[in-house]
Amino acid sequence: MSYAATHLRTLAALTLQHLALVAVSLAIALAIAFPAGIVAARNARLGAAIIGTAGVLYTIPSLALLAALVVALGIGPQCAIVALVVYAQLGLVRGIVAGLRGVDPAVVDAARGLGLSPAQRLLRVELPAALPVILAGVRIAAVTLIALATVAGWIAAGGLGTLIFDGLAEHHDGPIVAGALAAALLAIAADAALRACERAVRT
C-alpha cells in the first residue's frame, strides 16, 4: 500500500488508461456483437455458427493471441484492443441472442398485428424488451475485459497491467499489488454500476 500512497498520480493515470482501453474495446465489440447477435437470434444455423466461432476464439490463451497480434500489428494498444474485442464477443452475442429469443412471442405477435414494421418491431419492442438480458451480457463482458486488459501491460499498451509487469521485471512487490488491487476494484465497481443499470431497465 505504501507504493500506492506514494504513486497516486501514476496509479490514477494508469487507471484512466485502463478504463479507456476497456471502454474503446467494449464499444467496438458492441458494434460487432449487435448485428451478429440479431442475425444469430433469427437464424438457428447461423446462430450456432456465430456462437461456435465466438466460443472457439474465447478459448485462445490471451498471451498467445496477443503475441500473434503483435507480430501482425506491431506493439501497442491496437493489439490489446483487438484482443479485447475478440474476447468480449462470446458474452455479448450470447446475451443478445438469449435476450431476443426470450422476448414473449405474444409481444412479437401483437407488435406485428398492430402494424409495426420489422425495423420498428426490432428497435421499439424486441431490443428494449431484451435489454435487461443484453445488459447482463455487457456486464460480464466489461468485467472480463477489465481483468484481461491487465495483460496489455505485457505489450506496452498501457493500463494497470503496466505496474504488474514492471513489478515482475524489477522483483518489486509494491507495484504488482497496487496494479492488481486497482484492477480488481475497477472490476467490482463496473459490476456494481452495470447491475444498477440492469435494475433500472428491468420492467
Partner 1 sequence: MSPEGARVELSGVGVRYPGGAHAVREVDLAIAPGELAVFLGPSGCGKSTLLRTMNRLVEPTDGTVLIDGVDVRRQDPTELRRRIGYVIQAVGLFPHYTVAQNVAVVPRLLGWDRARIAKRVDELLALVALEPAKYRERRPRELSGGEAQRVGVARALAAEPRLLLMDEPFAAVDAIVRAALQEQTARVHRELGTTIVFVTHDVDEALRLADRVVVMNAGRIVQADAPERLLDAPCGDFVRDLVGVDAETRRLTAARPLIER
Which residues of the shown chain bind partner 1 in the complex (CB under 8 A)? 104-117, 120, 124-125, 128-129, 131, 201, 203
Closer by beta carbon to partner 1, 77 or else 95: 95
- C-alpha to C-alpha distance for 158 and 21, rounded to whole angstroms: 8
Closer by beta carbon to partner 1, 129 or else 163: 129
Write b or e for each residue in 53-77: b if 16 or more Cβ atoms lie within 10 A of its Cβ, otherwise e. Answer: ebeeeeeeebeebbeebbeeeeeeb
Question: Among 147, 151, 149, which Cα is nearest to 187's?
Answer: 147
Closer by beta carbon to partner 1, 2 or else 203: 203
Question: Least distance (Å) from partner 1 to the CB of residue 202?
Answer: 9
Closer by beta carbon to partner 1, 49 or else 201: 201
Question: Least distance (Å) from partner 1 to the CB of residue 131?
Answer: 7
Contacts of 108 (CB under 8 A, 6+ apart): 121, 125, 126
Question: What is the DSSP-derived secondary structure letter of residue 4?
Answer: H
Question: Least distance (Å) from partner 1 to the CB of residue 29?
Answer: 24
Angle between helices 8-42 and 77-101 (to 10 degrees): 40
Question: Least distance (Å) from partner 1 to the CB of residue 111?
Answer: 7
Closer by beta carbon to partner 1, 185 or else 201: 201
Question: Least distance (Å) from partner 1 to the CB of residue 113?
Answer: 4
138 with 95: CB under 8 angstroms?
A: yes
